[in-house]
Amino acid sequence: MPEAVTHVGSGKVRELYELDDDRLLLVASDRISTFDVVLPTEIPDKGRVLTGLSAFWFARTRELVPNHLLALRDDGRSTECRRLEMLPLECVVRGYLTGSGWKDYRATGAVCGHVLPEGLRDSEQLPEPIFTPSTKAQEGHDENIDRERAAEVLGQERFDQVERISLELYRFASAYAAERGILIADTKFELGLDPDGILVLGDEAFTPDSSRFWPADEYEAGRAQPSFDKQFVRDYCETLGWDKTPPGPELPADVVAGTRARYVEAFERLTGIGFEAYLADPDVALA
Ligand code: Q0N
């Protein structure tokens, strides 16, 4: 008998349900988006890879900051979470200059109020990682906001704490991943408050959907980097002359298989756990 659940939200590729007053169920689907469009073809096990990776990072960062994870379900794609009061901004950390950070830098020389050295190139590593929060847009792209605005929204003390924790999380995970051949160019977290006002990490963490993963052995500043996970999909889409507006194209079997293999490879490299072992018992990600 399935439990009664109320759907409380959805992202492009994940769903959130209410379990009771204190707990939510976060379910990661196998859907994939590219150029901000969800494609009609799924990548088998993608949701399990992302859920397992996120659980792995939650287990390893709990000393830095508590997180919302209560339990991993046997399906490997669903997590029971503590219900939080989410902060009204996205916590973004950038270690490399790409995406909207690169765009803002080229236009203004700064990103979210961080004035950067002159002459940085596309995808270049920053002298230090920077905290670059953004607003949560209902639809469309999140908008970068400067630190003054973010401090107004959160209050200075909470802002300082959120920035410090975000940078600590990024430094920890990016160093760990780099040793395993994956550069985490940037990443996005969602933080919330528990009923005692303690800051808690929610959502997913350090997955390829919430971060840009780049293959370290192909890294070269001065050009756009290949994506560790989505490059086959992007390359295939580019061959079609698709205008990148919905609906997106179906993916052929070889692109699906190659992409699934990249997700599994990211999981295995970062966690050191065989993906089959994760499927047999998801709790190995927490050990
Ligand atoms: C929550 N979102 C953001 C997942 C992400 N632990 C929590 N408590 C209360 N609210 C949320 C969480 C979490 N995580 C986070 N929305 C609500 C966007 N969602 C979209 C659906 O997938």
pLDDT for residue 9? 86
Phi, psi dihedrals of residue 248, rounded to the nearest 5°: -80, 165
pLDDT for residue 4? 65
CB atoms within 10 A of CB 5: 15
The answer, yes or no, to whether residue 92 has pLDDT greater than 60, is: yes
pLDDT for residue 57? 98
Residue 112: name the closest of 177, 165, 186 by CA. 186
For the Cβ of 47 lying below 6 angstroms from any atom of ligand 1, the answer is no
Contact 4, 18 (CB under 8 A): no
Contact 218, 183 (CB under 8 A): no
Contact 55, 79 (CB under 8 A): yes
Band (3; pLDDT cuts 50, 70, 90)? low
Give the chain's end-to-end CA distance (angstroms, integer).
30
- State the distance from the centre of ligand 1 to the C-alpha of 237, rounded, in angstroms: 30
Exposed, middle or buried, 178 (CB in 10 Å: 0-12/13-18/19+)? middle
Which residues neighbour 165 within 8 Å (Cβ) at sequence distance 6 or greater?
Answer: 64, 65, 191, 199, 201
Which residues neighbour 152 within 8 Å (Cβ) at sequence distance 6 or greater?
Answer: none
Contact 200, 193 (CB under 8 A): yes
From 16, 89, 210, the mutation candidate for ligand 1 (largest count of ligand atoms within 8 A of CB) is 16
- State the distance from the centre of ligand 1 to the C-alpha of 96, rounded, in angstroms: 27
The answer, yes or no, to whether residue 2 has pLDDT greater than 70, is: no
Determine if the peptide bond prior to 282 is cis (ω within 30°).
Answer: no
Q: What does the alpha-carbon distance between residue 287 and residue 283 come to, in Å, rounded to a whole number? A: 7
The answer, yes or no, to whether residue 138 has pLDDT greater than 80, is: no
pLDDT for residue 97? 98
pLDDT for residue 142? 86
Average pLDDT over every residue of 185-198: 98
% of the chain beyond a pLDDT of 70: 98
Which residues neighbour 12 within 8 Å (Cβ) at sequence distance 6 or greater?
Answer: 31, 33, 38
Phi, psi dihedrals of residue 80, rounded to the nearest 5°: -85, 130
Q: What does the alpha-carbon distance between residue 78 and residue 47 come to, in Å, rounded to a whole number? A: 9
Q: What does the alpha-carbon distance between residue 228 and residue 205 come to, in Å, rounded to a whole number? A: 17
The answer, yes or no, to whether residue 220 has pLDDT greater than 90, is: yes
Exposed, middle or buried, 253 (CB in 10 Å: 0-12/13-18/19+)? exposed
Average pLDDT over every residue of 141-151: 92
Token pair recorded at residue 105: 């830098």
Average pLDDT over every residue of 146-150: 94
Residue identified by tokens 């209560």 is: 70
From 6, 69, 86, the mutation candidate for ligand 1 (largest count of ligand atoms within 8 A of CB) is 86
Average pLDDT over every residue of 66-92: 98
What's the chain's length in residues?
A: 287
For the Cβ of 45 lying below 6 angstroms from any atom of ligand 1, the answer is no
Average pLDDT over every residue of 270-284: 98
Token pair recorded at residue 9: 């939200």
One-letter amino acid of 202: G
Convert the pLDDT of each residue in 5-21 to its tens digit: 889 888 999 999 999 99
3-state helix, strand, coil in the chain (%, to 5): 35, 25, 40
The answer, yes or no, to whether residue 77 has pLDDT greater than 80, is: yes
Convert the pLDDT of each residue in 18-46 to its tens digit: 999 999 999 999 999 999 999 999 999 99
Atom of ligand 1 nearest to the CA of 203: 14
Token pair recorded at residue 220: 């070269």
For the Cβ of 195 lying below 6 angstroms from any atom of ligand 1, the answer is no
